[in-house]
Amino acid sequence: MNSPERRANMSSWRSAGRAQPAPRGFSLVVVCLLLIVFMVDCGRNEPRGSKTEMSVPVSVPSEFNWIECKGLVRPTRLFTRYLNQGEQIHEYFIREGARIKKGERLVRLSNALFTEEYASLSGKKLEMKEKEDAVLILDMEITKAEKDIVQLDEQIEETKKIGQTMASYPVEAEIKRLTRGKESLEESLKILRLKRDAASKRTEDLKKMLLDLEGRMSEIRIQLDHLTIGAPFDGIVAFVPDIPESVKIGEPLLELWDDQEKTIEAFVWQHQLSVLKPGNEALIYTDFQKDAEGRGVVKQIKPKPLQEEIETYPKYKVTIDIVEGGAKLRIDASVSLRIKVSPLNKQ
């Protein structure tokens, strides 16, 4: 039964069984079991309450104590004038890109609304002045009538004296004539005084109206004077329209920059605010430049996110003052920034 030939055959069959590969289904089962064990082990190590958050597109700091972000070079001071209701551009005295001095004329405007209103108020003022002058005329007539009455009284007394020295002089007739003239003047004087009193009452209201009118006229004169616009500071003309006639109400008709004083508006993500504060140092880089172009400090961090970022990841504006270098930076140029994080603010 257990012959050498039989033992040799059984040994060859065992050797062939060990060399044969395992079935494919068995390998897949092993791989799945290993994955399940790995996931269970990871679940044990994960803290309770942790959630997988969507990745936020942020600029990764090259070092732990720096934040990298982008920014725009802006003028510290700028002046923009918009076209108001009723205004028209009359004449430009400058062109885009020109350097200007403080007080230099930039543009002259016209305003039909102000011009028409000023003309109307001028007419009303003339009417009021005529009414006011009427009281003065009545005062002058009253003063003249009073003087004439005094003169008639003197003439009556003089006539009486003449009658005492000249018996043939018609004293009574002359006195009656002078008395009739005096009575007529006294009656006229009463009427003049009544007119003056009535006119004076109206004049009190008229004076108040006249003061209000002159105040409004003064405001319009100031507005008309301001239609010739001067430069509020030394700088550069950043914008004038190519076609002045096409500028509409509410649109800019010119913009000036003080390009000698610059600042940078940087934009950071919400989670970076916790490690920023005013006074942090910032290095300024231009594109394709290895060394910093300048150095600045964080001046202000806006408390509200930018409006255009509300529906995505919130972004905040950070103002950075340039304290060193930056002479070659151009207004509205894009720059890269490395803002240093204060150890006191790190979380």
At 44-53, the pLDDT tens digits run 444 433 333 3
Residue 332: CATH number of its domain: 2.40.30.170
Q: Residues with Cβ < 8 Å from 327, sequence gap 6 or more? A: 294
- Quote the Cα angle for 151-152-156, to 5°: 120
**236 and 100 assigned to the same domain:** yes
Number of domains composing the chain: 3
Picking from 186, 203, 214, the residue whose alpha carbon sits closest to that of residue 136 is: 203
Query: Which of these three, 175, 202, 225, is where a domain ends?
Result: 225
**191 and 135 assigned to the same domain:** yes
Please state whether the predicted TM-score (pTM) of the whole model is above 0.85.
Answer: no
**280 and 312 assigned to the same domain:** yes
Q: State the DSSP string of 261-311.
A: SEEEEEEEEGGGGGG--TT-EEEEE-TT-SS-SEEEEEEEE-SS--GGGTT
**8 A C-beta contact, residue 286 and residue 337:** no
- CA 225/CA 204 separation, integer angstroms: 32
**97 and 131 assigned to the same domain:** no
**142 and 84 assigned to the same domain:** no
In-domain check, residue 305:
yes
- Mean pLDDT within 90-113: 92
Between 210 and 63, name the one with better pLDDT. Answer: 210
Which region, left, alpha or beta, applies to residue 142 given φ > 0 means left and ψ of -120 to 50 means alpha?
alpha
- pLDDT score recorded for residue 250: 94
- pLDDT score recorded for residue 47: 41
Q: Is the pLDDT of residue 262 over 50?
A: yes
**236 and 286 assigned to the same domain:** no
Q: Is the pLDDT of residue 340 over 50?
A: yes
At 159-192, the pLDDT tens digits run 888 888 888 888 888 889 999 999 999 999 999 8
**97 and 154 assigned to the same domain:** no
**123 and 203 assigned to the same domain:** yes
- CA 202/CA 209 separation, integer angstroms: 11
At 25-40, the pLDDT tens digits run 555 554 555 555 445 4
Domain assignment of residue 188, given as a range: 113-225
**120 and 221 assigned to the same domain:** yes
Q: Which of 27-36, 124-133, 230-239, 268-277 has the lowest mean pLDDT?
A: 27-36
- Mean pLDDT within 151-163: 89
Q: What is the DSSP letter of 246?
A: G
In-domain check, residue 313:
yes
